[in-house]
Structure 1
């Protein structure tokens, strides 16, 4: 029995294309975890992530006869996952937690210099600036000064429930407005920056 760990991806792929199911299993075992982490960074939904990755490998097997991979197998699999995530988000087949913690990711050191990063940050700033005054004030105290809901309530002399309502409204506005910005490039960037 062949020891697939000694084969290169090109050799393993050739065996899979010839109908060797164990070669497919080896490819799956080798890349499954990295693909899962990458997809989970966007969807935050274990079942949806597993479904997407399973679909990628089913397609890989089904199309093995006509498969032409001009880049590395790893790059091909990750690109396939990005496009499947993008497709599922656009067709609203998955509930997306993409905006949860988005600001933190945008302010991560690795994010600077990227065009997608700058565009997203500009878009977020313009959405926040358009919020009603009190809602904007609450959002900025939470995100920019990292104050808790209780601290914001005390500072603004309002109830914590009111703070929660303002935050819910601000985040809802952000999610709604940013939905149109979900391009494959943005998804690619977000999958890299987790």
Structure 2
């Protein structure tokens, strides 16, 4: 992302924080298609994807005074979209074909550029490195090694409930640190 675009986004966020709804409309126009495509690439449901993106912009407006974006605005919006897509998949009854190649589709940086992708990954890795050692190990086994809760519990000689608690703690810390509430 060019330095000029980052500056534009920072200025737009400053305007949003001061209640300028035109700035929100500019950000909406700038990123809506990319965010929608990213969500649609996974969910293949136009209405659900439109709702997700709409909700992200509503939250951006409603929480404008509280949001602290520590990465680029673009990275923040894509992380928010990804989180909502994960949430949608987790809490809905979805078709099995949705899960075909889901890891590749969710991790594909092509939708938002390699620089933003690396920036976001760097931020996530920095946050993960600050977790307690056990929490960090559980998170990495889950996300990097793609082990199930049961496999992690067996490997670390802990209960599956403890694995769930560590993952919830890690994900909560990631959401807070990335400004995803």
Instruction: Give TM-score scaled by structure 2 length.
Output: 0.51
How far 1:99 moved relative to its partner?
3.0
Residue of structure 1 in register with 2:88 after alignment: 88
- Cα deviation digits, residues 55-93 of structure 1 (max 9, x gap): 000000000011100100000000000111111111116
- Runs of 4+ aligned structure 1 residues displaced above 3 Å come to 93-97
Q: Distance in 1 between matches of 2:23 and 2:11?
A: 9
Q: Distance in 1 between matches of 2:68 and 2:98?
A: 32
Aligned residues: 109
Say if 1:43 and 1:95, in contact at 8 Å, map to a contact too: no
Residue of structure 2 in register with 1:61 after alignment: 61
Aligned pairs for 1:89-108 (under 5 A) are 89-92=89-92, 97-100=97-100, 102=101
Greater Rg over alpha carbons, structure = 1
1:97 to 1:23, Cα distance in 2 relative to 1, 3 A: farther
Residue of structure 2 in register with 1:21 after alignment: 21
Residue of structure 2 in register with 1:48 after alignment: 48
Instruction: Give TM-score scaled by structure 1 length.
Output: 0.48
Residue of structure 2 in register with 1:10 after alignment: 10
1:96 to 1:51, Cα distance in 2 relative to 1, 3 A: farther
Q: Distance in 2 between matches of 1:78 and 1:24?
A: 16
Say if 1:17 and 1:65, in contact at 8 Å, map to a contact too: yes
**Structure 2: unaligned runs, 5 residues or longer:** 110-139, 149-170, 172-181
How far 1:98 moved relative to its partner?
2.2
1:25 to 1:13, Cα distance in 2 relative to 1, 3 A: same
